[in-house]
Every structure is written in C-alpha cells, then in structure tokens.
C-alpha cells in the first residue's frame, strides 16, 4: 500500500510480495510516510521516548533566558495596554463631544420645551378635571334627588299602612270587649269542615253554621 511501483507494466515478485497485491492492481505511492489517520504502529505502541538529560548549567541558563523573555514581553504588553487606555480616554472618535456650555444650553432648551409641554398638559388636565368635577357634582345631585324621592315614597307607604291599620283596629278584640266577643263566638259556632263528593260538590253540615265560600 505504501510502496511505489507500477506492477502492471513492470511486474516484480519482490514488490508483489511486499505490498500483497496482484498484478492487476495499479498503485501510486507518492510519499513514504505513515498517513496521519493510521494508528501508532504495533511495534511502537509501548515505546516510551526517553527524556533528554539536561545538565544543571544548561537548565539554569535556559531558565534565565526564559525569565528574561517573559519579563520583556510583559513590559511591552503593559506599555501597549496603557497606551490603549490613554488613547480611549483622550480620543473622541466614538462619540460626539460638546463643550460644557453647549451641553448646558442644550439642557436648558430641553427644559424649556418640556416646561411648555407640561404647561399645555396642565391646562388640558384642568379642563378635564373641571369637567369631571362637574359630572361628579351632577351625579351626586341626581343621587340625592333620587334618595329623597325614595324616602318620600317609603314614608307614603308607611303612612298608608298606618292608616289601614287604624281602620282595621276598630274591629280589634281588646280587653274591654273580650267577653262580648267570647259570648258572640260561643253563640255562633262556626264549622270549617265539609265533605267532597266525586263530582267535586262541597257538602257542608246541616246542623252547624258553616262559612259560606
């Protein structure tokens, strides 16, 4: 698979044995290296690469160089950051800048415009509130009138009832005419019983006095 060779035109037993292919397969091999998608070779799976030994001098020298590099880079980065901050503070690139006087004048203009608007609304509100007040007064007046009328009617009804009662009271049985009433009742016993036949005729007693319907 990885071998170069054109076996169709130049058959070689060695090549065929190495690639395991027959004479009819055309194979083009461009570079002799394992492609990235193949796994680690079986013979190298458990190989642990040995770490390179560093002498003490070499290590300290490398550490010194590394520290120098880090320090220098950090200082450059800090300088650039400060420069950006300085730039942002002083530049007016991202907003329109007014002088304090202009700003104040603009604010005063807004205040005036708003004051005019508020005055206009206040006027309208006065009108509205006056109207509402009037409506409320009218409503309350109407309610009061209705209440008076209702009370009048009630009193009228009560008076009528009283008059009716007074009229009725002439026939009331009182302590004075109680005996007379008892006498009358005993003298005229009233029988409330009656019988009905199948035709619905009401049959009252013959001997007693019964109520006539």
How many angstroms separate the Cα of 50 from the Cα of each of 53, 56, 59, 96, 98?
9, 18, 17, 64, 69
**CB-nearer residue toward other proteins: 75 or 118:** 118
**CB-nearer residue toward other proteins: 63 or 110:** 110
- Written as one string, the DSSP assignment of 143-190 is HHHHHHHHHHHHHHHHHHHHHHHHHHGGG---SSSHHHHHHHHHHS-E
Shortest spacing between CB 1 and other proteins, in angstroms: 15
Give the 3-state secondary structure of residue 51: coil
**CB-nearer residue toward other proteins: 2 or 16:** 2
Shortest spacing between CB 74 and other proteins, in angstroms: 24
**CB-nearer residue toward other proteins: 35 or 189:** 35
**CB-nearer residue toward other proteins: 79 or 107:** 107
Shortest spacing between CB 19 and other proteins, in angstroms: 16
Shortest spacing between CB 118 and other proteins, in angstroms: 5
Residue 195's H or E segment, with its range, is strand 194-196
Give the 3-state secondary structure of residue 65: helix
In angstroms, rounded to a whole number, what is the distance separating the alpha carbons of residues 210 and 191? Answer: 5
Shortest spacing between CB 86 and other proteins, in angstroms: 17
**Interface ranges with other proteins (CB under 8 A):** 4, 30-33, 93-96, 103, 107, 110-111, 113-114, 117-118, 121-122, 124-125, 128
Give the 3-state secondary structure of residue 59: helix
Shortest spacing between CB 136 and other proteins, in angstroms: 14
Give the 3-state secondary structure of residue 4: coil
**CB-nearer residue toward other proteins: 132 or 183:** 132
For the chain, the 3-state helix, strand and coil shares in percent, each to the nearest 5, are 60, 5, 35
């Amino acid at each position: 698979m990885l071998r170069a060779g054109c076996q169709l035109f130049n058959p070689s037993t060695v090549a065929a044995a190495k690639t395991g292919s027959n004479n009819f397969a055309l194979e083009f091999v461009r570079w002799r290296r394992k492609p990235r998608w193949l796994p680690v070779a079986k013979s190298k799976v458990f190989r642990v690469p040995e770490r390179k030994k560093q002498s003490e001098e070499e290590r300290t020298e490398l550490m010194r160089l590394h520290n120098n590099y880090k320090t220098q880079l950090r200082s450059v980065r800090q300088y650039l950051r400060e420069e950006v901050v300085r730039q942002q503070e002083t530049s007016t690139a991202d907003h329109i800048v007014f002088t304090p006087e202009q700003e104040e004048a603009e604010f005063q203009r807004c205040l005036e415009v708003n004051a005019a608007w508020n005055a206009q609304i206040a006027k309208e509100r006065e009108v509205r509130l006056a109207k509402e007040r009037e409506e409320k007064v009218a409503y309350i007046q109407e309610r009061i009138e209705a209440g008076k009328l209702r009370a009048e009617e009630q009193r009228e009804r009560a008076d009528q009832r009283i008059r009716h009662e007074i009229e009725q009271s002439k026939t009331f049985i009182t302590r004075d005419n109680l005996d007379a009433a008892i006498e009358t009742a005993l003298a005229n016993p009233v029988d409330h019983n009656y019988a009905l036949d199948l035709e619905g005729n009401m049959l009252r007693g013959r001997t007693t006095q019964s109520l006539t319907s």
